[in-house]
Amino acid sequence: MPFLLTKKGFLRLRDPQDPNSQENGFFSSYRYVQIDVRQPSEHKSECHISIPYPDAWHRLTIEFSEGHGLSPDEYYANECERMKTNTIVPDVKIYSFHSKSGMDLQSLIKAMRHNNLGIRWRAALVLGEIGEPAIKPLIKALKGDDKDVQWLAGIALARIGEPTIPYLIRAMTEKDYDVRWRATIILAKFGEPAVEPLINLLKEAESDLRWHSALALSLIGKPAVGPLIIALKDKDWFVRVRAAWALGEIGDSTAVDPLIQSVNDQDWYVRWSAADALGKIGDKNAIKTLIAALREPDSFVQVPASWALGKLGDAGAVDALVQSLKSTDWYVRWGAVEALGKIGDSRALDFLKKALDDKDEYVRTAAAEAIEKMTS
C-alpha cells in the first residue's frame, strides 16, 4: 500500500523493473505527494492531490493494478472522502496518513546508502519531513562510518529543526571529529533556540568541545551576543576566553564595552582574547584601552593589542607602537612593526628603517614588508 507522511507526504513505491528495490530490502523510487483539503463552506469540501513528478503516476498505476485492484484515482478518491468526514477545518489544511505497516524508517535510512544520488537525496528530505520519529535513526546514521550518509543525515536533522537540539548537543561529545563538526554546523542553523545549550557547553572540561560550541555561537550571530557578554564574567577563565573569541567573530559593536573591561581581566589568556576580539570588531572606542594594553608586562597581551591597533588603522596609536619597538622581546617588536605597517603613517618610517637592522629575522622581514607597503 502506498505510504504517505507529513505535510508533503511520501510515496513508497516498488518498481518491478528495478531489482535493487527487492534485493536491497527497500524501495528505489521515492516521490512526494501533497494532499490539500479545502472547505470553502460548511457544506462543501474539496480534495486536491499534487504529484510533481511526471513518472510517478505511471509507477502508482503499476503497483495498484498489481496489489489492490484500485486505480490511483479510485484510491485517492476514497481517501479524500474519508478525510471529508473529519471536523470542519480552516480554509486550507494539509493532511497525512500512512499504511498500517507504519513508518518504515529503517528502509529510508538504508535508502540514504543507495548508489543513486537522487534516491539518497530524496530519502534524506523525506526523513526530514517525517519529523521527530526519525530523529533517533538519523542521529545513529550521523554517527556511522559512511561520510555521505553522515552528510545526508545532517540535512534531514536540520529540516526537522528544534526537537533535534538535545540529540545534537550530545553528538558534539562524540569522539569522531566529523560527527562533532556536522552537529556544530546544524546547531548553528537553528539560531536562538540553540544558544542556551551551547553556552552551557562552554563550561565543559574538554577544550575541543568548548571550541566547537564557541564556533556554533559565532555562526548564530546576534542572538548569541547577549549570553556571550554574560559569559565574559563567568568564574572559569576558559569560558571567558571562548566567549571573547566568539564575540570577536560576530563583530557586534554592543560587545565593545564589555570586551574593553575584559582587556583588564586577571587572566592573561582572557586579556589576549579580548584584545584580539576588539581588533576584529574594529570599533575605535577601543583604541585607548588597546594602547594601555601595550604596557602590559605579558607579550601575549601586548602583541594582540598591537594587531588590533593595526587593524583599526588609527594614527593616534603610532607613538605607543614606536615605544614597543624598544622592547627586549622580539615578539613584541615584531607585533609593533606589523601594526605600524598596516597603519601606514609616515612618522613611523624612520623607526621601521632602523628595524631593518634588528637582530631577529622575523622583525627584519616584517620591517622590510612594511616599508615597501608604505613607499610603493
List the grid coordinates of 39. Answer: 472547505
In whole angstroms, what is the distance from residue 316 CA to residue 292 CA?
13
Domain boundaries, the chain: 1-102, 103-190, 313-376
List the grid coordinates of 213. Answer: 560550541
What does the angle CA 81 – CA 82 – CA 87 come to, to the nearest 5 degrees? 105
Cα within 13 Å of Cα(217), Cβ side:
30
Contact 148, 180 (CB under 8 A): no
Architecture per CATH, 313-376: Alpha Horseshoe (1.25)
| Helix axes 177-190 and 135-142, enclosed angle (nearest 10) | 140
CA 82 to chain centre: 43
What does the angle CA 193 – CA 169 – CA 276 come to, to the nearest 5 degrees? 75
Contact 41, 30 (CB under 8 A): no
By residue count, the chain amounts to 376
Q: Please tell me whether the overall predicted TM-score, pTM, comes out greater than 0.75 for this model.
A: no
Mean pLDDT per 10-residue interval, the chain, length 376 residues: 32 41 34 43 46 42 43 52 41 30 63 76 79 87 84 88 94 89 93 95 91 95 96 95 96 94 91 92 91 87 90 91 94 94 92 94 94 90
Contact 42, 28 (CB under 8 A): no
Residue with cell 563583530: 251
Measure CA of the first residue to CA of the last residue in the chain; give whole Å.
76
Domains 103-190 and 313-376 fall in the same CATH topology: yes
In whole angstroms, what is the distance from residue 124 CA to residue 154 CA?
9
Contact 155, 124 (CB under 8 A): yes
pLDDT at res. 77: 56
In whole angstroms, what is the distance from residue 123 CA to residue 23 CA?
18
Query: Spelled out in words, what is the top-level CATH class assigned to the domain 103-190?
Result: mainly alpha
List the grid coordinates of 220. Answer: 548564530
List the grid coordinates of 339. Answer: 601594526
Contact 152, 134 (CB under 8 A): no
Contact 308, 338 (CB under 8 A): no
Cβ neighbours of residue 84 closer than 8 Å, sequence gap 6 or more: 37, 45, 47
